[in-house]
Amino acid sequence: MKLTLTAAILALAAAPAFAQQAPTGDAAAGAKVFAKCAACHVVANPAGDILAGKAGKTGPNLYGLPGRTAGTYPDFKYGESIVALGASGFAWNEADFVTYLADPTKFLKDKSGDTKAKSKMAFKLSKEEDAKNIWAFIASLSPAPAATN
């Protein structure tokens, strides 16, 4: 019994390491801020229903972004640096998304270690709270990411 209880406690303590964290932002506030993203991005489900945005195609569809490997949305032509980052196994989470929005090129340089890395996304969002809110909004429209064990 003692061993079983200890194992259960250890499993519960480890659970957050395997699960995607709940967004810390406000999805309703993020819906308003997403207007800044809508010129280039859309959130459209696999059935083609547009959940947010105006069918922007300059940037990739953001449906399912939480937990998605960077640079892998089908039929979108990404820049080399973000594709390379995704090839390394990098998948989007809230903290990295917030940092990316602050300065996409700096983020890619820092994450990849490539001083020549570039982002095709020129837009920067300096307010961390706005970025967290956008993440919460995108997450609210997306399926839950697959657990990574």
CATH 3.40.190.10 fits 26-141, yes or no: no
pLDDT digits (tens, 9 = 90+) for 68-113: 999 999 989 999 999 999 999 999 999 999 999 999 999 999 999 9
Are the C-beta atoms of 133 and 30 separated by less than 8 Å?
yes
Contact partners, residue 118, CB within 8 Å, separation at least 6: 79, 80, 81, 105, 108
Q: How far apart are CA 129 and CA 124, in angstroms?
A: 13
Instruction: Report pTM.
Output: 0.81
Domain limits, the chain: 26-141
pLDDT digits (tens, 9 = 90+) for 22-45: 788 989 999 999 999 999 999 999
Element (H, E) at 52: strand 50-53
11, 37, 44, 61, 119 from 54: Cα distances, Å? 44, 10, 10, 11, 22
Packing angle, helices 128-141 and 94-102, rounded to 10: 130
Residue 53 has pLDDT above 50, yes or no: yes
pLDDT value at residue 130:
97
18, 46, 51, 68, 117 from 71: Cα distances, Å? 22, 18, 21, 9, 14
Percent of the chain as helix, strand, coil, to the nearest 5: 45, 5, 50
Are the C-beta atoms of 41 and 56 separated by less than 8 Å?
yes
